[in-house]
Amino acid sequence: MLLSREMGAGSLKPPRLILHNFLTSEECKELEFIHKSSSTVGYRPNVFSTTLSHLIATNSAPFLIPFVPIRERLKEKVEHFFGCEYELCVEFTGLISWCRGASIGWHSDDNRPYLKQRHFTAVCYLNSYGKDFKGGLFHFQDGEPATLVPMAGDVAIYTADSCNIHAVDEIIEGERLTLTLWFSRDSAHDEDAKLISLLSKNMPELKLPMLASSNMYWFSLDPASHQQLGFDICLARMHVLGFDICSCQAEGLFSDSTELLMEPLQLVRGNELFKQEFVNILHALQVFSLLQMLNNLDQYSVSSQM
């Protein structure tokens, strides 16, 4: 599994570790499903993200389960490689996808005062260059390997400081998906403590998915414009799967109106109305994304011809 190991203790080379096939294809697909059924508009143009705190806030806490063993395996690798066993905590965990037009220039991961607690980075690639997207190559400013070609299952581990300044080329086509973790020596920034606190407040009983604020799902086509030109990413992903929505409140009404997205709804594909009612668009997206992952999308039952 160990493909390239740059630098060790006392070495002048930039400290980084590249592992192939760290994640299985099943793990990559499961995380992709979680992201595509739960993500929100991200922190940069043409970027979408799924954080663990967001999953809890939207009553999707069961989706945390696949992250637990992966986070622990990554932490063990980071601590062993950098010789800091039992010293680190996970500071942040997130699924991040980059779509056409997204890129980032040269930077280190601790390049802001509010990010100085980040000491190490792990980037797990969940899909592959050339197959799932074009562009999006990862470059280190110094040292070897100078360029990483993202392939599903691979992971890049490196220090978050100026020893590992890096950049990502613009995405030309498709969607580049990663699981990104930052690790800290400062326990005051332990992500787990915050998540446990959120879970204790948000999980008194099993609940169905709940939408966050609508602006977290709104993808603006022109962020500089005052006009609301764009689309809801949950609805857009349903359209990619081949579905439109139908309000349960007004029989026969079919619309893309965002007002329907937080209300009970049914789905339509072609001239077929699906009998299942969903509490909101996020509920529908999670169900049908799971069916797609299991290759059972075409077997879902239909109630009537329209």
CA distance 126 to 124: 6
The 10s digit of each residue's pLDDT in 126-137 is 999 999 999 999
Q: Which residues contact 279 (CB under 8 A, 6 or more apart)?
A: 208, 209, 264
Residue 246's nearest CA partner among 213, 272, 224 is 272
Q: What is the pLDDT of residues 92-121, one digit of tens each?
A: 999 999 999 999 999 999 999 999 999 999
Contact status, residue 282 vs residue 247, Cβ threshold 8 Å:
no
DSSP E strands in 202-275: the ranges are 218-220, 230-232, 244-247, 265-269, 272-273
pLDDT of residue 305 exceeding 90, the answer is no
Which of 36-45, 68-77, 112-121 has the weakest average pLDDT?
A: 36-45
pTM score of the predicted model: 0.74
- 9 pLDDT tier (thresholds 50, 70, 90): very low
* DSSP classification of residue 292: H
Q: Which of 10-19, 34-43, 170-179, 210-219 has the highest mean predicted lDDT (pLDDT)?
A: 170-179
- Say how many C-beta atoms besides its own lie within 10 A of residue 103's C-beta: 17
The Cα-based distances of 82 to 68, 75, 109, 188 in angstroms read 21, 11, 17, 21
- C-alpha–C-alpha distance, residues 58 and 38, integer Å: 9
Residue 267 φ then ψ, to 5°: -115, 150
Q: Give CA–CA dist 227/249, Å, rounded.
A: 29
Domains and CATH numbers, the chain: 2-202 (2.60.120.620), 218-305 (no CATH)
